[in-house]
Structures are given as C-alpha cells and as structure tokens.
Amino acid sequence: MDNLIVNDTSYETLLTEKYKKRVPWQPRDPKLVNAFLPGTVCDVRVTPGRKVKAGDTMFVFEAMKMLNTVAAHEDGTVKAVHITVGAMVAKGQLLIEFH
C-alpha cells in the first residue's frame, strides 16, 4: 500500500506505475513564453532588447484555422525571440524570453 496525500489528509491506496512516474506540476516561469497550441507563426512584432508593456502584441500565430494574438502579460524587456514568420511551433515550445 502507498499513501496519497490530498489537502493534508493521507489516504492508503494502490498507486499505478504511471502515477509514480508522473512529472510533478511546476509553476510557470513568467520570464518565458511557451506555445499553448501547435501552429504556424504569422507575424512577429518584437525583437531582442525591445521594451514591451502589458497588453502589447508580441506575435500572431495560426492554430486550428484561427489567428491567435499573443500579448505581453507584464511590462518587461525582450531577451530573445526564438521564432520567425512561417515557423511551425509545437505545443510547449519556447517562443520568447524576457529579462
């Protein structure tokens, strides 16, 4: 028997191998922008060193036949841009880094 702890309460249970090998949840790093869907980059509006304000459009990409505009979530300076127009991106791929 294994113990599973939920909200500070311990339960005896049989844990599956899949559960034991799971990757624990990690909080998102606010300095990294990752793709939330696979798609194709249509427009990139930032360059390294550019200062952005919260709400500024950073890039546009097409996913599932829809255009998705991605805006800065907070003020900052772009450290690196890892995408170009026409690039295919995978879910979770690193797209933009902030200082």
Domain parsing of the chain, residue ranges: 26-98
Average pLDDT, consecutive stretches of 10 residues, N- to C-terminus, the chain (99 residues): 88 88 90 94 97 96 93 95 96 95
Strand (E) or helix (H) holding 19:
helix 17-20
Which pTM value belongs to this model? 0.73
The number of helix segments (H) and strand segments (E) in the chain equals 1, 10
What was the pLDDT predicted at 14? 86
CATH number of 26-98: 2.40.50.100
Estimate the share of the chain in helix, then strand, then coil, as percent rounded to the nearest 5.
Answer: 5, 45, 50
